[in-house]
Amino acid sequence: MKIAVVGATGMVGTIMIKLLEERKFPVSEIVLVASKKSIGNELKFNGKTINIIGLEEALSKKPEIAIFSAGGATSLEWAPKFAEAGSTVIDNSSVWRMDLSKKLVVPEINASILTAEDKIIANPNCSTIQLVMALAPLHKKYKMKRVIVSTYQSVSGTGIKAVNQLENEIKGIQSEMAYPYPIHKNALPHCDDFEANGYTKEEMKLAREPQKILDDRTFSISATAVRIPTAGGHSESVNVEFENEFALNDIRRILHETPGVTVQDNPDTNTYPMPIYANGKDDVFVGRIRRDETQENTLNMWIVSDNLRKGAATNAIQIAEYLVDKELV
pLDDT, one tens digit per residue, over 52-63 is 999 999 999 999
Domain 127-306 fold is Dihydrodipicolinate Reductase; domain 2 (3.30.360)
Distance between CA atoms of residues 176 and 207, nearest Å: 32
Please report, in angstroms and rounded to a whole number, the separation of the first and last CA atoms in the chain: 9
Split at pLDDT 50, 70, 90, the class of 234 is very high
Distance between CA atoms of residues 128 and 214, nearest Å: 11
* β-bridge mates for residue 302, sequence order: 237, 287
The catalytically annotated residue of 139, 184, 234, 256 is 234
The reply to whether 126 belongs to the active site is yes
Is residue 138 a contact partner of residue 210, using CB atoms and an 8 Å limit?
no
Predicted structure pTM score:
0.97
pLDDT of residue 189: 98
What value does the mean pLDDT take over residues 6-22? Answer: 97
At residue 109, what are phi and psi to the nearest 5 degrees?
-105, -50
Residue 183: closest CA among 231, 151, 224? 231
Domain 2-124+312-325 fold is Rossmann fold (3.40.50)
pLDDT of residue 87: 98
The catalytically annotated residue of 126, 139, 184, 191 is 126
pLDDT of residue 35: 93
Residue 11 corresponds to which amino acid? M
* β-bridge mates for residue 29, sequence order: 2
Q: Determine the length of the chain.
A: 329
| 2-124+312-325 and 127-306: identical CATH topology | no
Half-sphere CA count of 108, side-chain side, radius 13 A: 21
Residues 134-147: tens digit of each pLDDT:
999 999 999 999 99
Residue 164: closest CA among 151, 153, 175? 175
* β-bridge mates for residue 227, sequence order: 153, 188
Measured in whole angstroms, the distance separating CA 234 from the mean position of its chain's CA atoms is 10
What are the extents of the domains in the chain? 2-124+312-325, 127-306
Residues 76-89: tens digit of each pLDDT:
999 999 999 999 99
The reply to whether 234 belongs to the active site is yes
Residues 172-201: tens digit of each pLDDT:
999 999 999 999 999 999 999 999 999 999
